[in-house]
A and B are shown apart, each in its own frame.
Chain A
Amino acid sequence: MPHADSGPARSRALRLAWPLGVAVAGVVAGYLLSVGLSGYFVFLAVSAVTAAIAILGLGIVTGSAGMIALCQLTFAAVGAWVVSLFNVLEVPGGFVVWLIAGGLAAGVVGILVGLPALRLRGVNLAVVTLGFAAAFDVTLLQIQFPGSKDGIPVLRPEGFSTDRGYFFFSIIVLAVCGLVVFWLQRGRWGSSWKAVAFSERGTASVGQSVQQAKLTAFAVSAALGGISGGLLAGQVQLPFASSFTPLQSLALYVLAVMSGAYLIDMAIFGGILWVLVPELLKRWGVPQDWGFVIFGALGVQALTSGTNLGQGIRNLWWKRADGRTAAARETAKADAAAHPAAVEPPAEASVPPVPAAPAASGEPALSVTGLTVQFGALKALDDVSLEVPAGSVMGLIGPNGAGKSTFVDAISGFLPHASGTVRLGGTALGRMSPTKRARLGLRRTFQQDRVPPALTVDAYVRFVARRRVTADEVAEVLDFFGCPPARTRLAGVDVGTRRLVEVAANVLAKPRVLLLDEPAAGLSHEEHLELGARLREVPARYGMAIVLIEHDLDLVRTVCSTLTVLDFGRVLASGPQDEVLADPAVIKAYMGETEML
Chain B
Amino acid sequence: MLQGALAGLAAGGLYAVLAVCLTLMSRLVRVVNFSQAATGMFGGFVAVWLVTETGVPIWLGSVLGVLLAGVLSGVIGWIAATWLSEADTTTRSAMTVGPLLLLISLSFILFGNKPQPFASIISGPAFTVGGVVISQVTLVTVSLAIVVAVAVRILLTRTAIGTRLRALSERPTTAELLGIPSKPLSIAVWVVTGVISAIAIVVVAPTQSNDAISLAMLIVPAAAAALLGGFKRLDLAVVGGLVLGVLSGLVAQIDEVSLIRNFLPFLFIVVLLLWTQRKEVWDAAR
Q: Is A128 in contact with B273, judged by CB distance below 8 angstroms?
A: yes
Q: What mask results when residues 249 to 286 of chain B are scored 1 for a CB within 8 Å of chain A, else 0?
A: 00000000001001101100110011011011111001
Interface centre among A128, A131, A296 (most CB of B within 10 A): A131
Q: Which residue of B lies closest to A450 (CB)?
A: B286
Give Cα A199–Cα B286 distance, bound, in whole angstroms.
Answer: 5
Which residues from 81 to 112 on chain B have a C-beta closer than 8 Å to any C-beta of chain A? 82-84, 87, 89-91, 93-95, 97-106, 108-109
CB distance from B76 to the nearest CB of A (A): 8
A121's contact among B89, B106, B270, by CB below 8 Å, is which? B89
Give Cα A458–Cα B220 distance, bound, in whole angstroms.
Answer: 43
A289 within 8 A of B: yes
CB distance from B277 to the nearest CB of A (A): 4
Q: Is B266 in contact with A247, judged by CB distance below 8 angstroms?
A: no
Interface residues on chain A, size class: 35 or more
B224 within 8 A of A: yes
Which residues from 233 to 253 on chain A have a C-beta closer than 8 Å to any C-beta of chain B? 245-247, 250-251, 253
A495 within 8 A of B: no
CB distance from B106 to the nearest CB of A (A): 5
Q: What mask results when residues 211 to 225 of chain B are scored 1 for a CB within 8 Å of chain A, else 0?
A: 001000101100110
- Name 18 interchain pairs, CB-CB below 8 A, sorted by A: A68-B97, A116-B274, A117-B273, A120-B276, A123-B89, A123-B90, A131-B223, A135-B263, A142-B259, A246-B213, A246-B217, A254-B98, A254-B101, A290-B109, A296-B98, A303-B94, A414-B282, A416-B280
Chain A residues with CB under 8 A of B82: 304
Q: Which residue of B lies closest to A119 (CB)?
A: B277
Chain B residues with CB under 8 A of A289: 105-106, 108-109
CB distance from A155 to the nearest CB of B (A): 29
Count of B interface residues, CB-CB < 8 Å: 49
Q: Is A257 in contact with B102, judged by CB distance below 8 angstroms?
A: no
Give Cα A126–Cα B49 distance, bound, in whole angstroms.
Answer: 32
CB distance from A123 to the nearest CB of B (A): 5
Q: Is B84 in contact with A250, judged by CB distance below 8 angstroms?
A: no
The 4 lowest CB-CB distance pairs between A and B, nearest first, are A296-B102, A292-B105, A300-B98, A304-B83
Chain B residues with CB under 8 A of A269: none
Contacts A128-B269, A135-B263; A119 near B281 (Cβ below 8 A):
yes
Q: Is B286 in contact with A200, judged by CB distance below 8 angstroms?
A: yes
A127 within 8 A of B: yes
Q: Is B224 in contact with A247, judged by CB distance below 8 angstroms?
A: no
Q: Which residue of A lies closest to B101 (CB)?
A: A296
CB distance from A434 to the nearest CB of B (A): 8
Interface of A is mostly: helix
Give Cα A39–Cα B278 distance, bound, in whole angstroms.
Answer: 55
Chain A residues with CB under 8 A of B259: 139, 142-143
Q: Is B282 in contact with A201, judged by CB distance below 8 angstroms?
A: yes
B227's contact among A119, A121, A127, A142, by CB below 8 Å, is which? A127
Q: Is A126 in contact with B34, judged by CB distance below 8 angstroms?
A: yes
Give Cα A545–Cα B83 distance, bound, in whole angstroms.
Answer: 46
Q: Is A299 in contact with B97, judged by CB distance below 8 angstroms?
A: yes
Q: Is B97 in contact with A134, judged by CB distance below 8 angstroms?
A: no
Give Cα A290–Cα B109 distance, bound, in whole angstroms.
Answer: 7
CB distance from B101 to the nearest CB of A (A): 4
Give Cα A251–Cα B277 distance, bound, in whole angstroms.
Answer: 30
19 extra interface residue pairs, beta carbon distance < 8 Å, beyond A132-B266, A250-B104: A121-B90, A123-B32, A127-B32, A130-B217, A131-B224, A247-B105, A289-B109, A292-B102, A292-B105, A293-B105, A296-B100, A297-B102, A299-B98, A299-B101, A303-B84, A303-B91, A304-B79, A304-B84, A306-B91
A26 within 8 A of B: no
Give Cα A293–Cα B265 distance, bound, in whole angstroms.
Answer: 28
Q: Is A135 in contact with B265, judged by CB distance below 8 angstroms?
A: yes
Q: Is A116 in contact with B273, judged by CB distance below 8 angstroms?
A: yes
Q: Is B219 in contact with A126, judged by CB distance below 8 angstroms?
A: no
A305 within 8 A of B: yes
Chain A residues with CB under 8 A of B83: 304-305
Q: Which residue of A lies closest to B261 (CB)?
A: A138
Interface centre among B87, B274, B286 (most CB of A within 10 A): B286
Which residues from 172 to 230 on chain A have a C-beta closer than 8 Å to any C-beta of chain B? 199-201
CB distance from B209 to the nearest CB of A (A): 10
Give Cα A123–Cα B90 distance, bound, in whole angstroms.
Answer: 5
Chain A residues with CB under 8 A of B266: 128, 131-132, 134-135
Q: Which residue of A lies closest to B271 (CB)?
A: A116
Q: Is B97 in contact with A128, judged by CB distance below 8 angstroms?
A: no
